[in-house]
Structure 1
């Protein structure tokens, strides 16, 4: 065989080999994180298997002249489907007792439904005049409650009960310990945070695009396809592992032609696998997609992912694992108050991990400081 033919043959072998190695490294990292999350979730579920006797069942009532505070708890019971009815009642009784112990009235419990995901329940809580609305569920429940509370001056507490719990991770809220999460509701100050608004134009010329609030991230393309491909059955059984399975399915696909504009700047034409816009940037404790993103800085951060194959996905994984801020040919970083994306063909769209269907155009804008969240000061990014 000639020398040139041998080099070409070696190159053909090296490309899939490098892609396989990159994918294997990524799967090892994600699997390790998933196993840690599974252990934390087991500790969290174990909290409800027996009553918590250290919380007294009765606290002397406050003087009649003192108004006691009251909370509403908007709960998504589907997140506790692995608990039997008795364990669910013990959980609610524990929360009620904790509020009584702190001198509050027993909370108003409002359950979400398959068609009402939390916003309607939060508005009912506002009408009842509560002092704080506590979202007990996953990121979808938290987002829906926030949509009703934004701009009202009534704070939101969070009792995380989902798989990802993205907002809780970004605000350093306890997401595997109910007692600690309740302590935050009782003792933490109200922190003003930004929210993002996503307009979804499905045809590219919709007269009235859909408008959705998000707290963590909104994206289109690869990450939205991953979220859309997660099966509820696998999510309940595997937790983060369901995202690994869906990600492996969506890893190989064509790039999309898109135009991207930040604020009132020029349009830039790109070929991309995904565009993700973040109000904050953490995916898990150790995986940070947007290292400079802060939830209260009045700006949005964005990344444009442009891998073409296995080796390029390795570059993307390396940029995320090393918290690269400079960007490179496969990962571009953007920053502004608004981000617009136009697509030649429809792409899947997601916000805070929930798929919302396909669209040909999306517009994202930040609304600074309009939501109060009960949280202790969280770790800040160290910008270089």
Structure 2
């Protein structure tokens, strides 16, 4: 088995769990390459030789992993998402058992699922154009402001930095959004507008129902409120109805499509999978990349069949699940 581990040591708290994973994974005769990222890394260059490996392990936060998945889009190389960031929402959405030994076992089993990615393009107020891939959510408004405000405290506070940032800005600016979804135009006012490939947040709460990474669609989510405190209502509903299919999500409206354009009346910040883009934008375009990524899954997650099946690479029988 040939494995390439790509690790971002600056993500999250700089956990050493990826090294525990490596020890659990490797067997006699294997080849394992550990590639540690530098600040400002170029994802396509980092993944230049990915095709010579049986599996690539993307270790970092959601932004790092999404960039690597986008660089590998269409290559059919299996990617194991290893949670080394602050929130690790992508790993939570995939639903694999998160312990290092469990992920090592999943890699040796070799079960995979094909999922979509999103791609977002923009031009900032200086005329600089950019394109990024995203696996979860990207958008403008209050969410981007939160990411920006939380950045200085993430290394110390972890996920609590986001809540502290929200409390510091209880009355965010209401924006006017012009949203074009597959040619249909919708004009809405609210504090944030997100484009989502998957919309499950902390606590396994789905912001909207049936937003999956394998449906060939993106979802646009608008928070139609003028007060950040009002967002507590859909979160409270989410604690009682995590899927949103029974009680709905007050103050949240959504649209679904493949090609999306979002325009704003004034320059605002833009975030892509939790990373705030330099500069301000007045519009962006997003599109779905159907089936662009092949991810490693275990038998417990929502993107895998329940049959554990035979091990593709062998040796998985000696890697026990935690506390097994």
Is TM > 0.5 for Structure 1 vs Structure 2?
yes
CA separation in 2, counterparts of 1:256 and 1:191?
38
Structure 1 residue aligned with 2:26, among 83, 86, 100?
Answer: 100
| Contact 1:79–1:138 under 8 Å retained in 2 | yes
| CA offsets 1:336-364 (integer angstroms, 9 cap, x no match) | 11221111101111111111142100111
How many angstroms does 1:125 deviate by?
3.6
Structure 2 residue aligned with 1:294, among 212, 218, 229?
Answer: 212
How many angstroms does 1:281 deviate by?
1.4
| Contact 1:272–1:307 under 8 Å retained in 2 | yes
In structure 1, the gaps of 5 or more residues are 1-68
- Structure with higher helix content: 1
Residue 145 of structure 2 is matched in structure 1 by 225
CA separation in 2, counterparts of 1:110 and 1:174?
24
CA separation in 2, counterparts of 1:312 and 1:198?
28
Residue 23 of structure 1 is matched in structure 2 by none
Residues matched between the structures, number: 298
Structure 2 residue aligned with 1:115, among 25, 40, 43?
Answer: 40
Residue 336 of structure 1 is matched in structure 2 by 257
| Contact 1:96–1:106 under 8 Å retained in 2 | no
Matches within 5 A, 1:158-307: 158-175=81-98, 177-203=99-125, 209-232=129-152, 234-265=153-184, 267-307=185-225
| Contact 1:303–1:332 under 8 Å retained in 2 | yes
| Contact 1:280–1:290 under 8 Å retained in 2 | no
Residue 140 of structure 1 is matched in structure 2 by 63
- Structure with higher strand content: 2
Q: Residue 123 of structure 1: SS of its match in structure 2?
A: coil
Residue 77 of structure 1 is matched in structure 2 by 9
Matches within 5 A, 1:352-367: 352-357=273-278, 358-367=280-289
How many angstroms does 1:319 deviate by?
5.0
- Identify which range, 329-338 or 106-115, moves more after superposition: 329-338
| Contact 2:12–2:154 under 8 Å retained in 1 | no
Alignment RMSD, CA only? 2.5
| Contact 1:149–1:155 under 8 Å retained in 2 | no
Q: Residue 261 of structure 2: SS of its match in structure 1?
A: strand
| CA offsets 1:204-256 (integer angstroms, 9 cap, x no match) | 9x5x8411100111111111111111134x22222111111111123312211
Q: TM-score, normalised on structure 2?
A: 0.83
How many angstroms does 1:324 deviate by?
3.7
Mark the structure with the bigger radius of gyration.
1
Residue 24 of structure 1 is matched in structure 2 by none
CA separation in 2, counterparts of 1:251 and 1:240?
18
In structure 2, the gaps of 5 or more residues are 304-324
CA separation in 2, counterparts of 1:116 and 1:157?
19
| Contact 2:233–2:250 under 8 Å retained in 1 | no
| Contact 1:225–1:250 under 8 Å retained in 2 | no
